[in-house]
Chains A and B, each alone.
Chain A
């Protein structure tokens, strides 16, 4: 897909073009605003079509929709949305099959690796998750068959998402970027933010005096750069190298050896071997920017690998994201070395469960995470 095409149409419309003809015609008549806000399109065979925008699940009500009968205008007039999912437009077997054929370009055999992983990346960087019946061989999933559920996750590129954050991530002398952990609940916008952080650091930000850095991205799930056949479909910056689909731990080491990055970015840290790779990178003087699933600082305690890294004061900046003002809201920024809040510590104190008390003394201690109340 060409750069121009991506710019000229919304991400929602782009994804709609991969749906089975019947569904495509249906959703093309959605209001432009709704299309632009779409985050997910879920097809479950025999069950209603579910769309998601923001916090809302909604569906399209069935109506006498015949693509051959009349003008498209009448179809548009009749399209009604509802949050009563049970009454929604039912997805038929044929819809799922045809959609799958379009996604795979009629070539399921070319998607064997993707079927094993359960998702496909579309040109444009959107992801389609798939469920069906797993075919097991020697105790491992060989492929999926009878695919009956598809989830289109519409990836968004929000340029400038990291504007408010970047000043916290760069050292006073502007010569280095802090090791940063982006913490967010699912769908909190951490991947979108990470992508923009990567893009801006890679391109450089003259306004902040940031020159460009060489960035390596180990993009195991093709979410950051949305690579299609190895080429990033998202703008991840001029000086960015992407290792697509590669296990993160191995990917980080490969990048380190081969591409001489100044910064390595990874999504969803969590495995022990990733920690080792990360330490390897740090020893080589490379900055690491990573994300992790968690709702708050205290939540990190339940992630052993991350907890240890935080306890070792590896991350100089820990950024908590939330949806309080939409996805990607930067709730708090924590200085992982000096152990203090740089921004909005109070919300976090609440999240950590502190009662009224003296919030100014709320301290986060990894491993012992609870607010410290003033000594009696």
Chain B
């Protein structure tokens, strides 16, 4: 029972730890994408799959899924492919609704304008993600220990009560 309590606590603590990591992964992937778009004007499917190979979860998964959908050339727009990709990853990720909203906004603009415009959209998304990351980092510092030890302690408490 103590073990179970600790396990649950660690699970919650993990959420707090993983979110800033995921936000960082997204930011660096978007920076790579920006380079692909503004300097080499690589078409979006190729750019996304190229960046995916150099990125971490969840950017890797979102990018490669979206690229795959676009390469099928069935008339799927970039934003549709992007949204589908987000839905695929949502379950497995520690990101919050606010983070997904940022990505969704970016997806709506992806590929649909000139390089200069694309750069603006990507920068904006990166800046927003960075702010979220800061908040997430603070939250983690505050909450991670609470959950980690809280789980253990509540398990212990429950065990004592049941004795």
Q: How far is the CA of A110 from the CA of B44 in the complex (A)?
A: 9
Q: Is the CB of A101 within 8 A of B75?
A: yes
- Checking A24, A102, A105, A109 against B118 with a beta-carbon cut-off of 8 angstroms, the contacting residue is A109
Q: How far is the CA of A106 from the CA of B112 in the complex (A)?
A: 7
Q: Is the CB of B114 within 8 A of A105?
A: no
* Given contact pairs A101-B78, A112-B114, A112-B115, A107 touches B73 in the complex (Cβ within 8 A): no
Min Cβ gap B56→A in Å is 24
Contact with B along A92-130 (1 / 0, CB 8 A): 000001100110111111101000000000000000000
Q: How far is the CA of A20 from the CA of B74 in the complex (A)?
A: 8
Q: How far is the CA of A104 from the CA of B75 in the complex (A)?
A: 11
What residues of chain A lie closer than 8 Å to B70, measured between beta carbons?
105-106
What residues of chain A lie closer than 8 Å to B110, measured between beta carbons?
106
Q: Is the CB of A110 within 8 A of B74?
A: no
- Name the CB-closest residue of B to A142: B114
Q: Is the CB of B75 within 8 A of A98?
A: yes
Q: How far is the CA of A106 from the CA of B82 in the complex (A)?
A: 11
* Given contact pairs A106-B45, A108-B111, A110-B43, A21 touches B77 in the complex (Cβ within 8 A): no
Q: Is the CB of A109 within 8 A of B78?
A: no
Q: How far is the CA of A143 from the CA of B115 in the complex (A)?
A: 11
Q: How far is the CA of A109 from the CA of B110 in the complex (A)?
A: 10
What residues of chain B lie closer than 8 Å to A24, measured between beta carbons?
75
Interface centre among A24, A102, A105, A112 (most CB of B within 10 A): A105
Q: How far is the CA of A101 from the CA of B43 in the complex (A)?
A: 11
What residues of chain A lie closer than 8 Å to B42, measured between beta carbons?
107, 110
Q: Is the CB of A98 within 8 A of B77?
A: yes
Question: Is the C-beta of B152 less than 8 angstroms from some C-beta in chain A?
Answer: no
Taking chain B's interface residues, is the majority helix, strand, or loop, or is none over half, making it mixed?
loop
Q: Is the CB of A110 within 8 A of B75?
A: no
Question: Is the C-beta of B106 less than 8 angstroms from some C-beta in chain A?
Answer: no
Q: Is the CB of B41 within 8 A of A112?
A: yes
Q: How far is the CA of A104 from the CA of B45 in the complex (A)?
A: 11
Q: Is the CB of B114 within 8 A of A143?
A: yes
Q: How far is the CA of A123 from the CA of B91 in the complex (A)?
A: 39
What residues of chain B lie closer than 8 Å to A105, measured between beta carbons?
43-45, 70
Min Cβ gap B45→A in Å is 6
107-162 of chain B: CB within 8 A of chain A: 110-115, 117-118
- Name the CB-closest residue of B to A109: B115
Q: Is the CB of B111 within 8 A of A109?
A: yes
Q: Is the CB of B37 within 8 A of A109?
A: yes
Q: Is the CB of A20 within 8 A of B75?
A: yes
* Given contact pairs A112-B114, A112-B115, A143-B114, A106 touches B41 in the complex (Cβ within 8 A): no
Extra pairs beyond A101-B75, A109-B111 (14, CB < 8 Å)? A101-B77, A102-B75, A104-B43, A104-B111, A105-B43, A106-B77, A107-B42, A107-B44, A108-B112, A108-B114, A109-B37, A109-B117, A110-B42, A110-B44
Q: 16 A-B contacts, Cβ less than 8 Å apart?
A: A17-B73, A21-B75, A101-B77, A101-B111, A102-B75, A105-B44, A105-B45, A106-B43, A107-B41, A107-B111, A108-B113, A109-B41, A109-B111, A109-B117, A112-B41, A143-B114
List the 7 shortest-distance A-B pairs measured between CB atoms, nearest first: A21-B75, A106-B78, A106-B111, A109-B115, A105-B43, A107-B43, A107-B44
